[in-house]
Amino acid sequence: MQKRRNILAGLLAAFGAGKTAKAASPGSDLERKIFEIPLFFTQRDTVVDFQPNTGLGLQVGTVEGLISGTSIVNFQFTPVSQTEINFDNRAIITDLDGDQVIFKNVGKGRFLIPPLSDTSSPLGNLMGIGGPLTGTYECIRASGKFEFLIGRKFPYRSVAANPARPGFPGQVYVEVYSDIIGGRQL
């Protein structure tokens, strides 16, 4: 069996694939998991403050996946049109060991205007403003076991939803993906 692996490794090297495999080989088990598993972590936050006149806000929540712990996000939406926004946010994640990561989170989004509604219900609309968001999480600071992430950018998708009744917090769900697809860094 080992002989077959050596032959395969030699063939891959001959066709240049060995170099790609070596470049993607991680230095730790955590690195290997992050770069081999498409979903890096999920983040679930509650919007606890939003100032519509400035677009500034704050959300707090938790993350699960290859990083598990708490999240705090300072965000700012910049309107591009009635239904589109750009944003430049900062997120800090603290894991169960106390190691931390700060991500610069930039991207764009669109509001679902009007959101889906059930006109047959006397209870009124369910959703106010919200919609899908996409962008990147770029690691700009890290401590402990996450220091190897500094400078890496991770693509993500997200959805934000706020209830139709004012005065109640909105929710944000985020999926952050590995920056390695098919052995190549994005």
Residue 21: the pLDDT is 36
Q: What is the pLDDT of residues 101-125, one digit of tens each?
A: 999 999 999 999 888 988 898 988 8
Is this structure's pTM higher than 0.95? no
Q: What is the pLDDT of residues 24-74, one digit of tens each?
A: 344 677 776 666 668 999 999 999 999 989 999 999 999 999 999 999 999
| Overall size of the chain counted in residues | 186
Summary mean pLDDT of the chain: 84
Half-sphere exposure of 140 (CA within 13 A, CB side): 12
What does the longest C-alpha to C-alpha distance in the chain come to?
A: 72
- Burial zone of 74 (CB within 10 Å; 0-12 exposed, 13-18 middle, 19+ buried): middle
Instruction: Compute how many other C-beta atoms are within 10 angstroms of the C-beta atom of residue 77.
Output: 20
Query: What is the percentage of the chain residues whose pLDDT exceeds 70?
Result: 78
Residue 168: the pLDDT is 87
